């Protein structure tokens, strides 16, 4: 499920990084920095999930006889 969110996490991290570390002196700068760190961490985790856990090959259903 996390594999689908790789690009949105990257976009959120970039926007929050520009806003949080861009030199703006606004009340939400600290919140943007925290959001940047969270989104960047989730982006890295989703990249690992994307490359380490490829799609499973189709499993063949087998009947179990009792």
Structure confidence by residue, pLDDT tens digits, 10-63: 888 999 888 888 887 778 888 888 999 999 998 999 888 888 877 766 667 777
CA 43 to CA 13: how far, in whole Å? 8
User: Residue 16 in 3-state DSSP?
Assistant: helix
Q: Is the Cβ–Cβ distance between 20 and 32 less than 8 Å?
A: yes
Q: State the pTM of this model.
A: 0.68
CA 33 to CA 23: how far, in whole Å? 12
Flag whether pLDDT at 3 surpasses 80: no
| Residue from 2, 44, 8, 60 nearest 16 by CA | 8
Q: Is the Cβ–Cβ distance between 8 and 46 less than 8 Å?
A: no
Q: What per-residue confidence (pLDDT) applies to 24?
A: 76
């Amino acid at each position: 499920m996390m594999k689908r969110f790789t690009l949105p996490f990257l976009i959120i991290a970039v926007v929050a990084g520009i806003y949080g570390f861009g030199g703006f002196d606004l009340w939400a700068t600290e919140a943007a920095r925290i959001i940047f760190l969270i989104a960047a961490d989730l982006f890295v985790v989703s990249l690992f999930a994307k490359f380490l856990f490829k799609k499973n090959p189709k499993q063949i259903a087998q009947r179990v006889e009792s």
